[in-house]
Structure 1
Amino acid sequence: MVAVFNKEVLSWYLLAVKLNETVQANLPRSQPSTPGSPFRPPPPPPIYFTRGEPIPEELQRQEEEEDEEGKDEEEVRVVVAVAAAAPRVESEWAISVRDRLEQARHEEAAVPWSRFSIYRVPKSLREGDEKSYVPQVVSIGPYHHGKRRLRDMEHHKWRALYRVLRRTGHDVRLYLDAARVLEDRCRACYEGRMALSSDEFVEMLVLDGTFVLELFRGAAGGAGEGFRDLGYDRNDPVFAMRCTMHGIQRDMIMLENQLPLFLLDRLLGLQIGRPDQHGFVARLAVRFFDPLMPTDEPLRKADRARIESSTRAAAESFDPLTETGLHCLDVFRRSLLRTGPKPEPRVWIRRWSHTRRVADRRRLQLIHCVTELREAGIKFRKRKTDRFWDIKFADGVLKIPRLLIHDGTKSLFLNLIALEQCHSDCSKDITSYVIFMDNLINSEDDVSYLHYRGIIEHWLGNDGEVADLFNKLCLEVVFDFDDSYLSELSERVNRYYNHRWNTWSASLKHRYFGNPWAVISLIAAVFLLLLTCVQTYYSVYAYYRPP
């Protein structure tokens, strides 16, 4: 322990102590010593010197030694005093630590972890592509509420609320009171603390919820008729089927831009006079987000009848209307997976990855790319179904449904993957499909061939942009390939790929049967070879057996 002293103060203090000792030494000791007390010899009598008389050197040396001893004693006293004060400082620090632990305990008990459904996208996922997770036109919910670049849409929300009140004849307090009742339940759906007060939060719920419902109901009418039926002008800048609607749809499908579905059900129920209804908002949401669907392949009647007759019970597990969804993104995800059961994931462990069950795309390779699979003799065909994730493999033919890629596909897939990464009750089906396609597509040539086969249709600039899109979708995604519904299919494809005879036969077909001229050349070469063999035979035969 280090003690810092003021020399001037310490000198005066020692002088006062020395003077006190001198005075005490000159006082008479009149009290007798009690029995048992230690014997103390009387102090030596003081020695007086006249002014001008020199002090002996022995006495001077004795006084200096006594002064040094006195200084040492005082320093020890000060150090002891500082040491005695040190535990008080440590106890205050320990008290602050306990206070923080108590605060953490209260926060742990107050946060409803199991009720989270609308998450903030983790930084590990959003690095390098912030725009795909952050709304650019309209904010829905508290995460991006009040941001400057999104304030232009606020007065349109007030217009929507005014239109609803005018159309229904209700008082605004009816909706505010209903949202107030659901306030705590709504707050529990969001992650982290929110700076909005109770009144601000309730106002935000009513404004945003009414705006969303007006868009849903207007788009359900089709071709702009729905908005006109609700009382909006055909040239309305927001509530009309205009070019801005695509940007609004893309923002409203983002994970951080959601409202709880039960709130939307309550607000819509108040508008139509059935406060306890549920399921209607989910139907409206699926129809509103239909332009964002990654496929436009209609389901054939034969397939639809087969699915409905043989797998009705299993298909219900993918129907967004049979269960209460979390929010619009969750409803849209369920609608993507609604039209039939997927194969259950099968636990399979490859020898080269026995100790790596959980991995990202840098370590996980479910399947080889298109170019390598073609060299092994695997063929690619388009599968006619509206289930873009339903991939089949049999007899060396990989059948993949058609995938439509537009400027909103990247944001859609990223937010679906973020939902599956954050919400523990979600399966990883969309993540499995995206990783599978990422493995298939490594270059622009892979995209070009899939486009040639009708498997990929895109509205981007070139095939290289599509390859770059898939190669960046799952950069920081943690994924267990045992949970993938495509794990068994990938295993069968890899077994076919590793069979040497398949590679040799594919190489023969690619080199000699790639086009008609190569086939004709091969047939001519074989015919000439046969003629040469016949000619050689008769020449040798005539030599040994002349006519």
Structure 2
Amino acid sequence: MEIENIEEAQVTAVSTEGSNSVAVEINEAAGIREFTAQELAKIEQHITWYSQDALKLKEEASRENTRCIYRVLPKQKEINGNLYKPSTVSIGPYHYGDSDLRANEEYKWRCLGSLLAKTQSVGETYKQYLKEIAQLEGQIRDCYSEEIDLDEFLEMIVRDGCFIIELFRTFGSHRPPEEPLTTMEWILPYVYRDFLLLENQLPFFVLETLFEITRMPADGDLPSLFVLALRFFQKAMRVPDEFIDRSASANLRPLHLLDLVRSSLIPADLVPPNSVRYPGTQVFPCVSKLRSAGIEIRPGQAESFLVVKVENRVIEMPSIAMNDFMKYLLFNCVAFEQCHKRITKHLSVYATFLHCLVNTDNDFDYLYERKVFYLGADAELTGFINKLGKDLLFDIDSCYLSKLFNDVNQFYRI
């Protein structure tokens, strides 16, 4: 049958699925499909979903540039147990309210009270602290890798920050401690560790802000917050005054206290060879095998235990204290480097270096007898070193020990 004088033929197609029928008109001449109202509603819904997802991804990418305080990766927690959990005090939101830490909250209030008691108007001063920190709330929240849902967020930040600063002023200034803080000296070995846990941090700019707004006339001769903080940890780190002076002049910009101590351990000239790569770099055998190949390990002299050298079949390693503080510090520095993309991986590389050297108790004992390791000689430390360097990610071809890895392997093969 012929159809004349018709420019467009309309064909109605009926699609049936179950008991629902949908009519769709198709313009054969133009090839344009006209959607039904039901289909258009679904398309709009999907567009809304995708737009929201795209916005979330954009926000996530933006936060990636500001976050610096993380939850430790689950695989690391599986390996290393409680080395990331505070034992005495919580700092920041991640462990706020933990039942086993509540009893020690009184020490924070004691420090805050000691600080406020030096002012003329306690209530007004505390409100001023809150107002100053409230202006930074958005920046503070952006530093954490998780959304923080906490009504007392600002109060917690001020209380924890003032607690840290009062301890620094009291025990990091070389002044005799004042009442009522003299009775808190017993807590120091525990807070040394707790203040350097990755999940137990405040942004450093918060501490700087509180340090400035809580200054008193009598604080005129106090050193900077940077120096006070390093002096506070000096006894636990077992470093001389020269170390602190050198770190203070290095113009470091720490993200938090853990990053401050980590950065202070990295000499300015100990940078990865960005202009040089060593393709095919491999880790090397343990102490026992190196000794069998005539390669010796001796204690070296350097400003940091990270400065390892090899020359004429001799590896020189600065001594490192294998005590509880160092164990917590190394694990949390490595955890931070594995989470944070915008920093060097010096501690991760060093952890891998130790992991290569120490395979058995005999390997550890050799390094202990040579005084490379000190303050620890039990069998558990071999396991600690093996766990410390397990499954770490970094570019082995361009890390700060790439040349050493290659040189040692060459000596080993000869």
Tell me the TM-score normalised to structure 2 length.
0.83
Indicate how the Cα distance of structure 1 residues 117 and 78 shifts in structure 2: closer, same or farther if over 3 A, else same.
closer
Indicate how the Cα distance of structure 1 residues 272 and 99 shifts in structure 2: closer, same or farther if over 3 A, else same.
same
Quick one: distance in 2 between partners of 1:298 and 1:207? 31
Indicate how the Cα distance of structure 1 residues 85 and 179 shifts in structure 2: closer, same or farther if over 3 A, else same.
farther
The counterpart of 2:146, out of the listed 192, 196, 211, is: 192
Give the corresponding residue for 2:215.
Answer: 272
- Structure with more contact order per residue of length (Cα contacts < 8 Å, sep ≥ 6): 2
Structure having the higher helix fraction is 1
Mapped contact 1:168–1:271 kept (Cα < 8 A): no
Indicate how the Cα distance of structure 1 residues 487 and 163 shifts in structure 2: closer, same or farther if over 3 A, else same.
same
Mapped contact 1:348–1:482 kept (Cα < 8 A): yes
Indicate how the Cα distance of structure 1 residues 96 and 384 shifts in structure 2: closer, same or farther if over 3 A, else same.
same
Give the corresponding residue for 1:218.
Answer: 170
Quick one: distance in 2 between partners of 1:297 and 1:268? 24
Quick one: distance in 2 between partners of 1:394 and 1:102? 59
Give the corresponding residue for 1:442.
Answer: 359
The offset of 1:425, in angstroms, is 2.1
Kindly provide the CA deviation profile for residues 177-221 of structure 1, in whole angstroms up to 9, marking residues without a partner as x.
Answer: 111111111111111211113xx2111111111011111111114
Quick one: distance in 2 between partners of 1:163 and 1:77? 78
Indicate how the Cα distance of structure 1 residues 407 and 88 shifts in structure 2: closer, same or farther if over 3 A, else same.
farther
- Number of residue-to-residue matches in the alignment: 379
1:152-301 equivalence runs, <5 A: 152-170=103-121, 171-197=125-151, 200-222=152-174, 226-228=176-178, 231-232=179-180, 234=182, 236=183, 239=184, 241-242=185-186, 244-272=187-215, 280-293=224-237, 296=238
Give the corresponding residue for 1:102.
Answer: 51
Indicate how the Cα distance of structure 1 residues 436 and 233 shifts in structure 2: closer, same or farther if over 3 A, else same.
closer
Residue type of the alignment partner of 2:289: E
Mapped contact 1:320–1:334 kept (Cα < 8 A): no
Quick one: distance in 1 between partners of 2:248 and 2:239? 19
Indicate how the Cα distance of structure 1 residues 92 and 77 shifts in structure 2: closer, same or farther if over 3 A, else same.
closer
Give the corresponding residue for 1:504.
Answer: none
Indicate how the Cα distance of structure 1 residues 287 and 371 shifts in structure 2: closer, same or farther if over 3 A, else same.
same
Give the corresponding residue for 2:368.
Answer: 451
The offset of 1:143, in angstroms, is 1.4
The counterpart of 2:95, out of the listed 124, 141, 144, is: 144
- 1:406 pairs with 2:354: no
The counterpart of 2:386, out of the listed 471, 477, 492, is: 471
Mapped contact 1:283–1:321 kept (Cα < 8 A): no
Quick one: distance in 2 between partners of 1:370 and 1:423? 31
The offset of 1:483, in angstroms, is 2.8
The offset of 1:175, in angstroms, is 0.4
SS in 2 for 1:329: helix
Residue type of the alignment partner of 2:115: V
SS in 2 for 1:128: helix
Quick one: distance in 2 between partners of 1:320 and 1:326? 17
Quick one: distance in 2 between partners of 1:85 and 1:137? 69
The offset of 1:113, in angstroms, is 2.1
Residue type of the alignment partner of 1:283: V
Give the corresponding residue for 2:3.
Answer: none
SS in 2 for 1:116: coil
Structure having the higher strand fraction is 2
- 1:369 pairs with 2:286: yes
Cα RMSD after superposing both structures: 3.0
Residue type of the alignment partner of 1:475: K
Kindly provide the CA deviation profile for residues 329-355 of structure 1, in whole angstroms up to 9, marking residues without a partner as x.
Answer: 1111111124x52264341123xx7xx
Residue type of the alignment partner of 1:483: S
Quick one: distance in 1 between partners of 2:134 and 2:239? 44
1:15-164 equivalence runs, <5 A: 82-84=20-22, 96-111=45-60, 112-164=63-115
The offset of 1:116, in angstroms, is 1.2
The counterpart of 1:491, out of the listed 385, 406, 409, is: 406
Quick one: distance in 1 between partners of 2:71 and 2:288? 38
Q: Note the residue ranges of structure 2 that are not aligned, 5 or more in a row.
A: 1-13, 25-35
Quick one: distance in 1 between partners of 2:153 and 2:254? 22
Larger Rg: 1
Quick one: distance in 2 between partners of 1:437 and 1:77? 69
Quick one: distance in 2 between partners of 1:154 and 1:404? 31
Tell me the TM-score normalised to structure 1 length.
0.64
Give the corresponding residue for 1:331.
Answer: 260
SS in 1 for 2:79: coil
Quick one: distance in 2 between partners of 1:467 and 1:332? 24
Q: Note the residue ranges of structure 1 that are not aligned, 5 or more in a row.
A: 1-75, 305-314, 354-364, 500-547
